[in-house]
Amino acid sequence: MTPTMIELDQVAKAYGDQMAVSDVSLDIRKGEFIALMGPSGCGKTTTLRMLAGLETPTAGEIRLWGRRINEDTPWSRDTPLVWQNYALFPFMTVRRNVEFGLKHRGTPPRERTAKADEWLARMGIGALAERMPGQLSGGQRQRVALARALATEPELLLLDEPLSALDPHLKVKMQAELVRLHQELGITFICVTHSPSEAFAMADRVVIMSEGRVQQVGAPRDIHRRAENRFVAEFLGGSNLIAGTVASREAGAITIDTASGPLLARTSEDQGLSPGDAATLVVGTDRVAITSERPASGNALEARVATLDFVGASVTVFMETPAGLEIRAQLSSRDLDAMPLAPGDAVFVHWPAEAGYFLA
Ligand SMILES: Nc1ncnc2c1ncn2[C@@H]1O[C@H](COP(=O)(O)OP(=O)(O)OP(=O)(O)O)[C@@H](O)[C@H]1O
């Protein structure tokens, strides 16, 4: 078992009456890539700043290798931060910027320069060593900031929205580069992002936060398979949440009555629901099929197409049942070629009984 490197133990941070972080407990193992994710104001940056030593927790304890570090200053920690504004010194060349962190650590001049050049080459920007930061693109500045942080060979790298300033093409490239660097270096990465796609693409484990608390922690595929609560399901999108009342329950199958008709769900994760209980069924948008005729069996609802949202080669079809329930289906553009859809079309939506689970 990989040893635990960092422990956040019931950590809280208040600014006056404002609780930025209410209660965060989390163990991080050496070499993990952790993504802290959540909507604006959920406390993810404050959590990162406490890890960096830029803020002191109001309650709880942060431990590094079992030792309390709540009051340690940033410079006494092995935790370089890469902030989204890159924080490069504008009056120093790229090489000097990368050397700066090493100088601070007492590395002799010749070794500093050699190391800086090595890291600039590794990041594919060796040719820019003599430029000033103002003469670089956003993506280039991002790489310099990473080179500067990594040249000091930290045990832990904290990244705050490292890809936020990049255009979509460069974002995907840098995303792959961060994953590669992480694998190569074996350093623990903790990355703050508000983007589920970024977090899910890069992290070993994703921590989803809301209002200063952790809502769910898990590997991307586990969170994807099953959101633990309504907040997570709604924040991640990609699911239909259907409210109803349990009508019957027998042999692993639950029927719920909804405003749009009865629905059947077969799931081992049924939270011990009994007839009469309120229940919310979660069905992934990728499990919902659309047909023009009512299917012979299975869960089927009558609906009307409201709008279509195209993102790359994927299309989200927004539909509404006569009772006002919104159902979304994610199709490929090839599916749409086979069955052209337009707003106003009358359709049937259906999914297998095994496709859903119930929210706790
Ligand atoms: N220095 C401060 N003084 C007062 N309130 C603060 C301070 N810093 C953060 N907060 C508040 O604490 C809460 C959490 O802020 P934080 O910056 O950690 O959120 P975040 O999840 O990183 O958001 P964003 O994605 O917008 O950066 C917010 O409501 C914020 O307004």
Instruction: Give pLDDT tens digits for 138-188.
Output: 888 888 988 888 888 888 899 988 888 777 888 888 899 899 999 998 899
Residue type, position 119, single letter: W
Q: Determine whether the shortest distance from the Cβ of 42 to ligand 1 is under 6 A.
A: yes
Ligand 1 center–CA 192 separation, angstroms? 13
Ligand 1 center–CA 46 separation, angstroms? 6
Written as one string, the DSSP assignment of 251-263 is TTEEEEEETTEEE
Question: In this predicted structure, what is the pLDDT of residue 222?
Answer: 92
Separation CA 46–CA 212 (nearest Å):
9
238-358 shares the fold of 4-230: no
CATH 2.40.50.100 assigned to domain 238-358? The reply is yes
Ligand 1, atom 13: closest residue by C-alpha: 20
End-to-end CA distance of the chain: 31
Q: Structural domain boundaries of the chain?
A: 4-230, 238-358
Q: Determine whether the shortest distance from the Cβ of 18 to ligand 1 is under 6 A.
A: yes
Q: Which atom of ligand 1 is nearest to the CA of 21?
A: 14
Question: In this predicted structure, what is the pLDDT of residue 173?
Answer: 85
Find out whether 162 and 144 touch, Cβ atoms under 8 Å.
no
Q: Determine whether the shortest distance from the Cβ of 41 to ligand 1 is under 6 A.
A: yes
Ligand 1 center–CA 182 separation, angstroms? 28
Ligand 1, atom 10: closest residue by C-alpha: 20
Average pLDDT of the segment spanning 53-81: 87
DSSP reduced 3-state for 246: strand
* Greatest mean pLDDT among 42-46, 267-271, 354-358: 42-46
Average pLDDT of the segment spanning 76-83: 69
Average pLDDT of the segment spanning 218-226: 91
Q: What is the pLDDT of residues 244-301, one digit of tens each?
A: 999 998 878 899 999 998 999 988 777 788 899 999 999 999 999 999 998 887 789 9
Question: In this predicted structure, what is the pLDDT of residue 267?
Answer: 81
Q: Determine whether the shortest distance from the Cβ of 38 to ligand 1 is under 6 A.
A: yes
What's the CATH class of domain 4-230?
alpha beta
Report which DSSP code applies to 117.
Answer: H
Q: Determine whether the shortest distance from the Cβ of 44 to ligand 1 is under 6 A.
A: yes
* pLDDT band of 326, cuts 50, 70, 90: very high
Average pLDDT of the segment spanning 29-47: 95
Report which DSSP code applies to 233.
Answer: H
Question: In this predicted structure, what is the pLDDT of residue 155?
Answer: 87
Is this structure's pTM higher than 0.90? no
Angle made by CA atoms 253, 236, 178, in degrees to the nearest 5: 130
Question: In this predicted structure, what is the pLDDT of residue 348?
Answer: 95
Separation CA 309–CA 316 (nearest Å):
5
Ligand 1 center–CA 251 separation, angstroms? 48
More confident residue, 336 or 270: 336
Separation CA 251–CA 266 (nearest Å):
9
Written as one string, the DSSP assignment of 25-82 is EEEEETT-EEEEE-STTSSHHHHHHHHHTSS--SEEEEEETTEE-TT--GGGSS--EE
Separation CA 307–CA 326 (nearest Å):
11
Ligand 1, atom 18: closest residue by C-alpha: 43
Ligand 1, residues 15, 23, 48: which to mutate, most atoms within 8 A of Cβ? 15
* pLDDT band of 83, cuts 50, 70, 90: low
Q: Which atom of ligand 1 is nearest to the CA of 38?
A: 21
Percent of the chain exceeding pLDDT 70 equals 98
Question: In this predicted structure, what is the pLDDT of residue 2?
Answer: 80
Ligand 1 center–CA 253 separation, angstroms? 44
Q: Determine whether the shortest distance from the Cβ of 194 to ligand 1 is under 6 A.
A: yes
Q: Which atom of ligand 1 is nearest to the CA of 46?
A: 18
SS3 string, the chain, reads: CCCEEEEEEEEEEEECCEEEEEEEEEEEECCCEEEEECCCCCCHHHHHHHHHCCCCCCEEEEEECCEECCCCCHHHCCCCEECCCCCCCCCCCHHHHHHHHHHHCCCCHHHHHHHHHHHHHHCCCHHHCCCCHHHCCHHHHHHHHHHHHHHCCCCEEEEECCCCCCCHHHHHHHHHHHHHHHHHHCCEEEEEECCHHHHHHHCCEEEEEECCEEEEEECHHHHHHCCCCHHHHHHHCCEEEEEEEEEEEECCEEEEEECCEEEEEECCCCCCCCCCCEEEEEEEHHHCEEECCCCCCCEEEEEEEEEEEEECCEEEEEEECCCCCEEEEEEEHHHHHHCCCCCCCEEEEEECHHHEEECC
Ligand 1, atom 5: closest residue by C-alpha: 15
* pLDDT band of 82, cuts 50, 70, 90: low
* pLDDT band of 85, cuts 50, 70, 90: low
Query: Which DSSP helix (H) or strand (E) runs through 22?
Result: strand 18-29
Q: What is the pLDDT of residues 304-316, one digit of tens each?
A: 999 999 988 899 9
Question: In this predicted structure, what is the pLDDT of residue 171?
Answer: 85
Strands in 111-198 per DSSP E: 156-160, 188-193
The whole-angstrom distance between residue 169's C-alpha and the CA centroid of its chain comes to 19
* pLDDT band of 21, cuts 50, 70, 90: very high
Token pair belonging to 260: 């749009």
Angle made by CA atoms 231, 233, 237, in degrees to the nearest 5: 115
Average of per-residue pLDDT values in the chain: 90
